[in-house]
Structure 1
Amino acid sequence: MTQTLYFGTYTKGQSQGIYQANFDEKTAEISDLKLFVEEGSPTYLAFSDEAIFSISNQEGKGGIAAYDLNGQLIDRHLEAGPAPCHISYDPGRQLIYTANYHTAQIKVYYLDDNHKLQLSDYQELTGSGPHPNQNQAHPHFVGLTPDHYLLVCDLGSDRLFSYKLVDGKLQQMTSFQTKSGSGPRHLVFHPSHKLAYLVNELDSTVDVLIYNGCGYFEHETKISTLPADFKGNNAAAAIKMSQDQRFLYVSNRGHNSIACFKIEIDSGISLVDITPSHGQIPRDICLSPKQDHLLACHQESNHLSVFKRDSETGLLTFISNQIQVPEAVFIDFKQNTF
């Protein structure tokens, strides 16, 4: 069965925007790679049933763009300054959220009845941390908790913020402090247990958190994404959970690897394996819809690595890295929506 795969990219070099390809679940072959739409550095994407929402950079302005499923522009909303780094879609409220690493702002948008993107609200975060990359607040992720609060990972101040949404307006509810200098980047919730898994960019770790609802977290345990003897520079990037809720995968930029963890509900997570990514600076990773494969896109070596995945052990077996995708930093199938 063939599935449609989307790539978000920087457009500092060869890339021209959002790319699309076909992925054959049976053979693991990727075909018909093509430019889906021209867009300035669409580094992250989010999907609704009828649209694709993208980060957008145009002539010194940053914001978001909305496209229909045929690649036709619906609308673009830009402001002076750098673009956000993360975007997500809220199907229940039909809102779009962004996190801006550079301006320390989180924003809420909606599409009005005339299919125009409108800014509903925004908040500017404050704070800092001890790491050189923590000179100010750096929100890096926006997404929903299981009970529909908006969660923000602030890499700059080592905090998780939760917000209540009232008529599209943000009301801050809670703040959870992570380990100083860890740099929380992305998070996934366990769909069946009150647990969350937080990947930290700056100290290359995963925190296992207990989620008590209403935005409140407790820390359970922490584990490294790297081999004990690794001494080089690394920045952890993406974190994804298998559909059977048994394994986590994390990409390591610098060590250039994919770490696999087994989820132990009663005792946190345990390291299964750390597999070379077969490329330079693996950014985003995703699991195929049938969960038989893992795909990793590399920002600097401009290609995609494909791995066979063993559903029983979680282990990855390298298949190929022959497909060239320029400056890719996001990869996902449309049905694997937030």
Structure 2
Amino acid sequence: MVNHALWIGSYAKKEEPGIYEVLVDTEAETLTVKSRFSGVENPSFLAEADGYLYAASESMDGKGALLRIESDNLVLKGTADSGEMAPCHIWAEDTYAWTANYGGSVTKYERKGETLEKTAFSKHEGKNGPNEKRQDAPHVHSVNPFPDGRHLLVCDLGTDTLAVYDKHTLEIVKKVSAAPGSGPRMSLFHPKQPIVYVMNELDSTVSVYKVGEGGTITHLDTLAGLPAGYSGEHTGADLQLSPDQQFLYATIRGWDGLAVFDTDPNGSLSTPRHVKLDGKTPRSFYALTNKPFLVIAFQDSNELCLYKTEQNGLPVFTGQRVSITAPVCVIKKGEN
């Protein structure tokens, strides 16, 4: 019984398939690639809103792309310049979308009819990080909405900064400094508690912040994601909660594994358990709602893999994988 349809974003040339629709059958425990779509260069991250799919075109002349979702097709309606290189994350709601641009900025877009227009832009400044190779300049990596509906949380890997924006004006309301050299990458708001988790790329840690009024966030804790004694290369990638919020999962590249944190009802985290994964360079992933499965994108082994989670929260590989070139994003189809 097919009960989940997913959008997959990847790195691909414009003329090559870059966006995929993948079906999950949780009874048969299978993955199937239903459709492949070309037309957008490096559609690395995707967001769906109001019957449209938005893609961050992660290229040197970065763009946001607008695609209309039809019954068995995606139709590219247009693009808008981001004003910056390498948009690497996107979020959308109603007729608006926002990209985090690795070149060091945030762009806001508006869909007007079936065209996409850039309507606001904010450039970051500074060089605060101690990692000379990765923190030579601002590198904005993600943009996510606060539960209050008024603010955005923007992770800047290059300056070790969390910036809180007014969602519509793109004015920075406040900044919070992360640990030097941590490299904030991705954020995830708890759906029931005033908590936001941040995946720090450069030191592969997970930080916990308390969310307050007016877009305030206050650091509570930071936990190591890597197993004790690991000394190889590593970069933290993404975060997801289990549907019941009992577990927080974090993918870590280089080590190529998953840190599994138990969560207290108040949102605090335990020291993680660790699961070595069955692919190379895990990136984004999706925890299926109401079913104990994770779908994980492996960029460098060019595959999407299906894992079944046990009652203790630890995932076990089902053996089911499908080939997709350089997948990096997994989101639920039909979920804004």
- Give the TM-score category using the shorter length: over 0.9
* Residue identity matched to 1:87: I
Q: List alignment gaps of at least 5 residues for structure 2.
A: none
- Alignment match, 1:118: 117
* Equivalent in the alignment of 2:315: 316
The aligned residue for residue 333 of structure 1 is 332
After superposition, residues 1-338 of structure 1 pair within 5 angstroms as 1-2=1-2, 3-11=4-12, 16-56=17-57, 61-70=61-70, 71-78=74-81, 82-91=85-94, 94-102=95-103, 104-112=104-112, 114-128=113-127, 129-132=129-132, 133-148=134-149, 149-165=151-167, 168-265=168-265, 268-310=268-310, 312-337=311-336
Task: For residues 180-219 of structure 1, give each alpha carbon's deviation from its aligned partner in whole angstroms, at most 9, with x where no partner exists.
Answer: 1100001111121111111100000001111112121111
- Contact in 1 for aligned 2:84/2:101 (Cα 8 Å): no
Does the C-alpha gap of structure 1 residues 284 and 267 become closer, same or farther in structure 2, counting only changes over 3 Å?
Answer: closer
| Separation of aligned partners in 2, 1:12 and 1:182 | 32
> Match of 2:208, as an amino acid?
V
Counterparts of 2:261 and 2:118, CA distance in 1: 39
Conservation of the 8 A alpha-carbon contact between 2:66 and 2:79: yes
* Aligned CA distance change for structure 1 residues 176 and 244 (closer, same or farther; 3 Å): same
- C-alpha distance in structure 1 between counterparts of 2:266 and 2:111, whole Å: 43
1:75 counterpart letter in structure 2:
G
Question: Cα offset for 1:267?
Answer: 7.8
Q: Is the 8 A contact 1:51 1:69 kept in 2?
A: yes
The size of the alignment, in residue pairs, is 329
Secondary structure in 2 matching 1:280? coil
Secondary structure of the residue that 1:43 maps to in structure 2? strand
Deviation at 1:163, TM superposition (A): 1.4
Q: Distance in 2 between matches of 1:200 and 1:231?
A: 17
With 16-25 and 26-35 compared, the bigger mean Cα shift is at 26-35
What is the Cα-based RMSD across aligned positions, in Å? Answer: 2.0
Question: Aligned partners of 1:266 and 1:55: how far apart in 2?
Answer: 34
Contact 2:14 2:42 in 1 (8 A): no
Distance 1:226 1:186, change over 3 A: same
Summarize the Cα distance change of 1:172–1:13 in structure 2 as closer, same or farther, 3 Å threshold.
Answer: closer
- Alpha carbons 2:48, 2:54 under 8 Å: kept: yes
Shift of 1:95: 1.5
Contact 1:211 1:217 in 2 (8 A): yes
Cα shift readout 1:216-244 (whole Å, capped 9, x = no counterpart): 11111111111011010100001011221
Question: Are residues 15 and 205 of structure 1, via their aligned partners in 2, closer, same or farther at CA, if it must alter by over 3 Å?
Answer: farther
Which letter does structure 1 place at the counterpart of 2:325? Answer: P
TM-score normalised by structure 2 residue count: 0.92
Q: CA deviation at 1:79?
A: 5.8
Percent of matched pairs sharing the same residue: 30
User: CA contact under 8 A between 2:57 and 2:88: conserved in structure 1?
Assistant: no
Structure 1, unaligned runs of 5 or more: none
Is contact 1:97-1:108 (8 Å) kept? yes
